[in-house]
Structure 1
Amino acid sequence: MTSNTSSGPEARREELAANLAEVRERIAAACAAAGRDTGDVTLVAVTKTFPASDVRLLAGLGLAQVAENRDQEAAPKASECADLDLTWHFVGQLQTNKVRSVASYAGVVQSVDRARLVRALSQAAVAEGRVLRCLVQVSLDEKEGRGGAAPSDVPALADQIAAAEGLELGGVMAVAPLGEEPRPAFERLARVLNEVRLSHPAATIMSAGMSGDLEPAIACGATHVRVGTALLGGRSAIVR
């Protein structure tokens, strides 16, 4: 599956529509296998490195949830698409000096992994007059440099988010460890979420699963899957 943005907007729209149909079929099949309702799983399009024109095409195809992982790319893209009814998810590692910018357009920050970031997000949300839904990013492999809180630290971090002005605790997010079978990792994430929900029953989001592993994520209870390559094609430096 490759991107074909140079062949014109109509061809690109057809490509994205076909990819979207295929991803939705995969989600439906995974839900059926897990005995879950398809409506319980939200598809979030990860549009990093792809242009705002692709975001517009996806919106026209019915996708309203869009994710980015770099503020330098996300901020101008969100501005260009401000007329669309979209929810922007920030999914990358977030530095505190970027928080004010992210708080101006993101509706969901999925990568909250430390107390300092909670405080910065709270201040920025209040300053912007917005409420940000936050997910605790959980590290499922301490050897990787992807960010994330240790599972043992998640309940306390969840408490801090829930108590912070301008923030709403949504649940948890994680990326499966590289080179490992993803299902055991997603099962660990589900257990972490269950522990969080003992104190915060409304924190129901489990964001897990991407293009290559959305099926085991759904089998383990994922409510949100973050899909890029399967929707948009191979990554390339389209946005600079």
Structure 2
Amino acid sequence: MSAEQRRAELAASLAEVRARVDAACRAVDREPAEVELIAVTKTFPASDAALLADLRMTDFAENREQEARDKVAEFTALRPDADVRWHMVGQLQRNKARAVARWADVVESVDSERLVRALDRACASALDAGERTRPLDVLIQVNLDDAHGRGGCPPAEVVTLAALITRTSGLRLRGVMAVAPLHGDPDMAFATLSGISRQLRDRHPEAGEVSAGMSGDLESAIAHGSTRVRVGTALLGGRPLTSP
């Protein structure tokens, strides 16, 4: 497929996704501008991200540090003047904090005190080294189903973790993130997340972001107050059965 054909394909998919977001917002009397669209580009090439940037996409998400690091560098070479943000949305090991601090604008998968401390140290080092110019925006990933390997902070511990984040110098608390249970009711999950978000905002008004909803359930997430939807398949197409 030529670059022109891929651009046309992505443009059509982007229009469809934006139409879904608009319709979902209208259904619950929200403004579409309240919901940010994030392109989940994991396993797809930097050239796709570059084409989406040409189509005015500004936010991209990755879930593996090494893939993201290389992709961000390649994207920057392809579109050096593009004003975009890169989100880390996958589970993050503490030993990857230093590397992530070099390229990520947002980490949406913060779920433990040890990771908070590691990211804070990493950001301080990156700021001192001139590798970044501002603190790292973070969201607390909330575990809504206790599924093994999904990651996330237990709901009862969100307030405590949030308080720790606000005491750091390198991190800025922006809100919460969650993934709906694989075999559960997304409406119930996102309603729970909405309640957790309200409790968090009562204590930290600056933490108003709710990152929830993907290709298959973004309408439900928007109905329950999501401010960010993370879309991969509906935007970029199907992924290989196994990731490289």
**Alignment TM class, shorter chain as reference:** over 0.9
Structure 2 counterparts to residues 180-191 of structure 1, below 5 A = 180-191=184-195
Per-residue Cα deviation, 1:112-161 (whole angstroms, up to 9, x for no partner): 00000000100111111131000000000013421001000000001111
Structure 1 CA distance for aligned equivalents of residues 55 and 110 of structure 2: 30
Per-residue Cα deviation, 1:45-75 (whole angstroms, up to 9, x for no partner): 0000000000000000000100000011000
Structure 1, unmatched stretches of 5+, are 1-6
Match of 1:197 in 2: 201
Q: 1:87 to 1:238 in 2, by over 3 A?
A: farther
Query: Residue type of the partner of 2:175?
Result: G
Structure 2 CA distance for aligned equivalents of residues 78 and 10 of structure 1: 22
Structure 2, unmatched stretches of 5+, are 128-133
Structure 2 CA distance for aligned equivalents of residues 237 and 81 of structure 1: 25
Q: 1:166 to 1:40 in 2, by over 3 A?
A: same
Query: Number of residues paired by the alignment?
Result: 234
Match of 2:72 in 1: 78
Query: Residue type of the partner of 2:34?
Result: D
Asked if 1:231 is matched to 2:235, the reply is yes
Asked if 1:213 is matched to 2:241, the reply is no
Asked if 1:136 is matched to 2:140, the reply is yes
Match of 2:13 in 1: 19
- Larger relative contact order, structure 1 or 2 (CA cutoff 8 Å, min sep 6): 1
Structure 2 counterparts to residues 85-100 of structure 1, below 5 A = 85-100=83-98
Is the CA contact 1:50–1:238 (under 8 Å) kept in the aligned structure 2? no
Once the two structures are TM-superposed, the CA of residue 239 in structure 1 deviates from its matched residue by 7.9
Structure 2 CA distance for aligned equivalents of residues 36 and 116 of structure 1: 37
Match of 1:3 in 2: none
Structure 2 CA distance for aligned equivalents of residues 198 and 204 of structure 1: 10
Once the two structures are TM-superposed, the CA of residue 236 in structure 1 deviates from its matched residue by 2.4
Q: Structure 2 residue aligned with 1:111, among 109, 112, 123?
A: 109
Match of 1:50 in 2: 44
Is the CA contact 1:173–1:206 (under 8 Å) kept in the aligned structure 2? yes
Structure 2 CA distance for aligned equivalents of residues 239 and 19 of structure 1: 22
Per-residue Cα deviation, 1:77-127 (whole angstroms, up to 9, x for no partner): 111122222100000000011111111111100000000000010011111
Is the CA contact 1:73–1:239 (under 8 Å) kept in the aligned structure 2? no
Q: 1:56 to 1:29 in 2, by over 3 A?
A: same
Structure 2 CA distance for aligned equivalents of residues 143 and 238 of structure 1: 21
- RMSD after superposition: 1.2
Per-residue Cα deviation, 1:210-238 (whole angstroms, up to 9, x for no partner): 00000000000000000000000000289
Aligned-partner SS, 1:146: coil
Asked if 1:222 is matched to 2:226, the reply is yes
Aligned-partner SS, 2:214: coil
Match of 2:119 in 1: 121
TM-score normalised by the chain length of structure 1: 0.95
Match of 2:162 in 1: 158
Match of 1:4 in 2: none
Give the 4+ runs in structure 1 shifted more than 2 A: 236-240
Q: Structure 2 residue aligned with 1:101, among 83, 99, 106?
A: 99
TM-score normalised by the chain length of structure 2: 0.94
Query: Residue type of the partner of 1:154?
Result: V
